[in-house]
Amino acid sequence: MTPARVLLIDDHRVFAESLALSLETHADLRCVRLAHTVADGLRAAEATAFDVALLDLRLPGADGFAAIDGLLSRRPDAKIVVLTAHPRPGLAHRALAAGASGFLSKSAGLTEIVEAIHAAIDGRQILGAGLESSPAGIRFTPREHEVLRALSRGLDANRIASTLGISLYTARDHIRAVMSKLDVRTQLDAVITADRLGLITLGTGF
């Protein structure tokens, strides 16, 4: 049986190198490349064939969801399993919606990580313990997600309209929809509540 090829992208070098060595103890897995930035990971994806990428969602100066998109655009048949120190349901469900096959905490054991890799290869999605439920049942449209992220960056309705190429009326309508779904009365409370639920992560752009 040909070993599954794993690309590991994580800026925590000790964790990444330790995990790579642990994966190599499994005869059916082979870590083909280590990368410590999104840029390096995308270059590795172009140069090296792989079956599964293990991706840290929070990398310096990077949008983890854009990284998922970038990896899949380069290797459409590859699978992505997110490993994160911030395992929140909102982020987990956003990662799966972006195309990831799995979402685990970095505190997960090696057995759970290996199982997630095999599940991804088999075409199944897997979430770590405690991540199965969607926070408060909240569902945003892609445009509402864009508006919420814009609010988290301090943009007002006028700038959101300009940035997204929509009318001011439409921008305000999306803002009202976001606030209604979060059951808040102010835009600031919308951002704070969304961050608490893991629907966005302040300071990361996603």
SS3 state at 10: coil
* pLDDT at res. 44: 93
How does DSSP classify residue 123?
T
pLDDT of residue 87: 79
Per-domain residue ranges of the chain: 4-127, 137-197
**Reported pTM:** 0.67
- Helices then strands, counting H and E runs in the chain, come out as 9, 6
> Which token pair is 45?
């994806």
Q: Identify the CATH assignment for 4-127 out of 3.40.50.720, 3.90.320.10, 3.30.300.30, 3.40.50.2300.
A: 3.40.50.2300
Q: For residue 154, what pLDDT is reported?
A: 92
Q: Count the helix, strand and coil residues of the chain and give each as a percent rounded to the nearest 5.
A: 50, 15, 35
Contact 11, 34 (CB under 8 A): no
Could you read off the pLDDT tens digit of each residue along the chain, which spans 206 residues? 789 999 999 999 999 999 999 999 999 999 999 999 889 999 999 999 999 999 998 887 777 788 898 999 999 999 999 998 877 777 787 788 788 999 998 888 999 999 999 999 998 888 886 665 555 567 788 899 899 989 999 999 999 999 999 999 999 999 999 999 888 999 998 998 888 777 776 665 45
Identical fold for domains 4-127 and 137-197, yes or no, is: no
The reported pLDDT for the residue numbered 147 is 94
Q: Give pLDDT, residue 206.
A: 53
CATH of domain 137-197: 1.10.10.10
Tokens of 49: 């064939």
